[in-house]
Amino acid sequence: STSGSVTLTGGTIAANTTCNIVLNVTSSTQGAYTNTIPAGPAGPGSIQTQQGVTNDAPASAPLNVQAIGLLKAFSPTSIAAGGVSTVTVTLQNPTNSAYTGVNITDTLPAGLTVFGTPASPQCGGTITNTAGSVSLAGGTIPASATPPLPVGTCTITFQVTTPANAPTATLTNNIPIGGLTTTQGVSN
């Protein structure tokens, strides 16, 4: 293995079985990547055996590297009508520089409303809320002390509820792609 490539030589695959090669990769550059093993025969990087067997088509796998991690969790994950759940939005930064000017809005699905006043965000900045959304403006996601792991993190916490007469339902709460912005131009 060298930076950017992996080579296996002298391997054996028993008849009627498979062989997996598993490795970890890392990148400090946000973007969409596609890793491809080219088709054989005898192409650079293609699969080749002593028996002359090769891969007749390329094998590809996509990897999406995000410069910001965005996680959301509810606790508890199931509530009775009129009940309350705590939402924690975790923002992650795997780089060695803080992300500043962080803006994000979490718009709740119909039937779910903000309960009470959101806690002051660990991310700094200003938090505002309406019955149906919570927003952070001007926040900061701290840098990773030793990039890429552990990541620098901060959280936004607030509570949500449903009306006391709400019907039984499963609600899905998403923050859309591009819903988080920073001064540095990176997003989710």
- Reported as a single tens digit per residue, the pLDDT across 55-111 is 888 888 888 776 789 999 999 999 999 999 999 999 999 989 999 999 999 999 999
Asked if 44 contacts 38 with a C-beta cutoff of 8 angstroms, the reply is yes
Report the relative pairing of strands 84-93 and 69-75 from DSSP bridges: antiparallel
At 100 the pLDDT is 98
Q: d(Cα 87, Cα 92) in Å, to the nearest integer?
A: 16
**Percent helix, strand and coil across the chain, each to the nearest 5:** 0, 40, 60
Q: Which residues, 6 or more positions from 104, have their beta carbon under 8 angstroms from its beta carbon?
A: 89, 91, 135, 136, 139, 156, 175, 179, 180, 181
Asked if 102 contacts 91 with a C-beta cutoff of 8 angstroms, the reply is yes
pTM of the model as a whole: 0.69
At 14 the pLDDT is 87
CA angle 184, 187, 188 (to 5 degrees): 155
Residue 130 has pLDDT above 90, yes or no: yes
Collapsed DSSP state (helix, strand, coil) of residue 62: strand
Tell me the per-residue pLDDT of 158-185, one tens digit each, with 9 for 90 and over: 999 999 999 999 999 999 989 999 999 9
